[in-house]
Amino acid sequence: MKTLTIRRPDDWHLHLRDGAVLEAVLPHTTADFARAIVMPNLVPPVVTVSDALAYRERIMAAKPETDAFTPLMTLYLTENTDADDVEAGFRDGHVAAVKLYPAGATTNSQSGVRDIAKVQPVLERMAGIGMPLCVHGEVTDPSIDIFDREAVFIERVLQPLRERLPELKIVMEHVTTRNGVDYVKSAERNLAATLTTHHLIINRNAILAGGIRPHYYCLPVAKREEHRLALRAAATSGDRRFFLGTDSAPHLDPLKECACGCAGIFTAINTMACLAQVFEDEEALDRLEAFTSLNGPTFYGLPANEERITLVRHATPIAYPKSVYTADGPITVFNPMFPLHWEMEDHAVG
């Protein structure tokens, strides 16, 4: 039987939600991952360090006791964010990063940033203390085609921001285009990107061909095949600027299967199985560890995990749940549309 032993992975972009959904989804992340950058787009959002500490407590209370897991908390950037609070939270180790959502770009982004000039003082402070900014990189201008919003964001917002503040460490979250990959590769320092599991696997046909499939809808929306191939090449290259951020984003099924469905794909359960398959198909299993366990900590200035995990390749496909049941209703699990043969040894949801 083929096996692969690597350092325990981390997830550098994760939605855990709150309440019944948090309870149901968290064990699937803590079974496999040592740490995760936890997104702050709750309702209401996690804006202050005290909000983040309270949310952290709720996460720790929902965590299976036997899993060692460290949530890395983030703050939701608003035009009223207090730079002193941000700096104190980072220096005390309570928060790891700040998340920039352009207002209206995605789920619960209404309190995000409309005018980037208004957050310049906070960003300057972050640049001064080496605190990373995680960016949802899409413009919200309704005249820009939704498939072009990432590329236009790079030109209109990201490049000018990096010229103004070259010392600011930026993570372009969930890059979905060749343009994004090339842009990240053009930067020598202070810029990296997360790539999701699903964007390595689906292109936009998954959402639209043969009927509308809401469980493949997320933001940024999956693009055409040439972009997916660029993402796969970046992920499997070993390049230190690219690392895993699943963007696992659970929504209850009725909120996705309706006339105006929410964006988000729930991949926390089968991400490692999917990724092992992708890397095997690309003949890059020797670079899986860089993507899931090394490049992220390097960019964030954190030590890599010491613990090792083993992935086992089974001859017959493994079974995994098609849905997760929460007290509020079911959540559909990402279906990669190919059989999964890899499994994490001792993968057990406690």
Q: Catalytic residue numbers? A: 247
Between residues 35 and 149, which has the closer beta carbon with respect to ligand DOR? 149
Residue from 29, 41, 74, 277 binding ligand DOR (CB under 6 A): 41
- In the window 292-331, what residues touch ligand DOR (CB under 6 A)? none
Q: Return d(Cα 67, Cα 344) in angstroms, integer.
A: 15
CB 198 within 8 A of CB 250: no
Cis peptide before 220 (omega within 30 of 0): yes
Decide: is 150 part of the binding site for Zn ion (CB under 5 A): no
Backbone Cα Rg of the chain = 19
- Smallest gap from residue 258 Cβ to ligand DOR (A): 15
Decide: is 219 part of the binding site for ligand DOR (CB under 6 A): yes
Q: Return d(Cα 298, Cα 23) in angstroms, integer.
A: 30
The candidate with the shortest Cα–Cα distance to 81, out of 104, 113, 103, 106, is 113
- In the window 75-134, what residues touch ligand DOR (CB under 6 A)? 106-107
Between residues 37 and 294, which has the closer beta carbon with respect to ligand DOR? 37
Q: Which does 136 bind (CB under 5 to 8 A by kind): ligand DOR, Zn ion, none?
A: ligand DOR
Decide: is 51 part of the binding site for Zn ion (CB under 5 A): no
Decide: is 30 part of the binding site for ligand DOR (CB under 6 A): no
Decide: is 176 part of the binding site for ligand DOR (CB under 6 A): no
Q: Angle between the 49-62 and 83-91 helix axes, to the nearest 10 degrees?
A: 40
Between residues 12 and 69, which has the closer beta carbon with respect to Zn ion? 12
Residue from 7, 8, 15, 232 binding ligand DOR (CB under 6 A): 15
- Smallest gap from residue 198 Cβ to Zn ion (A): 11
CB 72 within 8 A of CB 36: yes
Residue from 14, 22, 62, 249 binding ligand DOR (CB under 6 A): 249
Between residues 42 and 235, which has the closer beta carbon with respect to ligand DOR? 42
Stretch of 164-172, 178-186, 246-254, 338-346 lying at the interface with Zn ion (CB under 5 A): 246-254
- Smallest gap from residue 196 Cβ to ligand DOR (A): 9
Alpha helices in the chain (DSSP H): 19-30, 49-62, 83-91, 120-129, 149-153, 159-164, 178-185, 205-208, 225-236, 253-256, 271-281, 288-289, 295-300
Q: Which does 107 bind (CB under 5 to 8 A by kind): ligand DOR, Zn ion, none?
A: ligand DOR
Q: Return d(Cα 27, Cα 271) in angstroms, integer.
A: 14
Residue type, 52: A
CA angle 262, 267, 270 (to 5 degrees): 155
Residue 99 φ/ψ, nearest 5 degrees: -110, 125
Joined tokens for residue 140: 């919200």
Q: Return d(Cα 341, Cα 339) in angstroms, integer.
A: 6
Joined tokens for residue 307: 């613990």
Q: Return d(Cα 98, Cα 85) in angstroms, integer.
A: 12
- Smallest gap from residue 96 Cβ to Zn ion (A): 15
Decide: is 247 part of the binding site for Zn ion (CB under 5 A): yes
Q: Which does 292 bind (CB under 5 to 8 A by kind): ligand DOR, Zn ion, none?
A: none
Three-state secondary-structure class, residue 238: coil
Q: In 10 A of CB 282, how many CB atoms?
A: 16
Stretch of 96-104, 116-124, 244-252, 283-291 lying at the interface with Zn ion (CB under 5 A): 244-252
- Smallest gap from residue 26 Cβ to ligand DOR (A): 15
Decide: is 264 part of the binding site for ligand DOR (CB under 6 A): yes
- Looking only at the bridges linking them, the beta strands covering 2-7 and 11-14 are unpaired
Q: Which does 263 bind (CB under 5 to 8 A by kind): Zn ion, ligand DOR, none?
A: ligand DOR
- Smallest gap from residue 262 Cβ to Zn ion (A): 12
- Smallest gap from residue 4 Cβ to ligand DOR (A): 29
Task: Give the footprint of Zn ion on this chain (CB under 5 A).
Answer: 247
Task: Give the footprint of ligand DOR on this chain (CB under 6 A).
Answer: 15, 41, 106-107, 136, 218-219, 249, 263-264
